[in-house]
Amino acid sequence: MTTIRAVHTAPSDVNLVSVRLATAADVDAIKVVVDENVALGHLLPRTRENIAASIGNWLVAEVQGRVVGIGSLLEMGPALVEVRSLAVLPEYRRYGVGGEIVKSLVEEAQRRGYPTVFALTRAVGFFERLGFVVTEHERFPEKVWRDCVLCPLKDRCDETAVVIEFATRHNTAHGEGK
């Protein structure tokens, strides 16, 4: 009997991926990745205008000038920020790119002085490996009132809240667009 296995071949340039803050020039590339994942039910929609207005809060993973992964920070309050719109192009998944984006987002959140970073996710193990712990949605009423009340899945939410906290605020200068 012949066994056929899917062979997952790493893109040859996966070692060249680097994560950086996004710029206005990245808006269209970010929108492409967002839209692809919205269609698959992974991400909430973001308009081009919304991405452009918040571009200072996005990070991109790039390889040879191509955006292969994205993630953003959304301030929920002076001490609370959400990791959202996290996605990696399918062919670059499972090589650590998503993990590097989250680590960079958490570092950026720390640098901006947020003591608490959270996400609502189905990729619980992925976030746990990065130091997040599972918590209750109710800990984040800012999120519930801002986004969850508008969500068609609000009464049967299948996402888990995960959080990472830091003991002290490092600074208060963040001044980016929301």
Ligand X SMILES: CC(C)(COP(=O)(O)OP(=O)(O)OC[C@H]1O[C@@H](n2cnc3c(N)ncnc32)[C@H](O)[C@@H]1OP(=O)(O)O)[C@@H](O)C(=O)NCCC(=O)NCCS
Question: Which residues of this chain interact with ligand X, rule CB under 6 A?
Answer: 37, 42-43, 86-88, 93-99, 119, 121-123, 125-126
Q: Residue 42 or residue 113: which is nearer to ligand X going by CB?
A: 42
Contact between 84 and 72 under an 8 Å Cβ cutoff? The reply is: yes
Q: Residue 31 or residue 93: which is nearer to ligand X going by CB?
A: 93
* Minimal CB distance residue for ligand X: 98
Q: Residue 56 or residue 99: which is nearer to ligand X going by CB?
A: 99
Q: Residue 37 or residue 57: which is nearer to ligand X going by CB?
A: 37
Smallest distance from ligand X to CB 100, Å: 7
Smallest distance from ligand X to CB 94, Å: 4
Smallest distance from ligand X to CB 59, Å: 12
Smallest distance from ligand X to CB 150, Å: 18
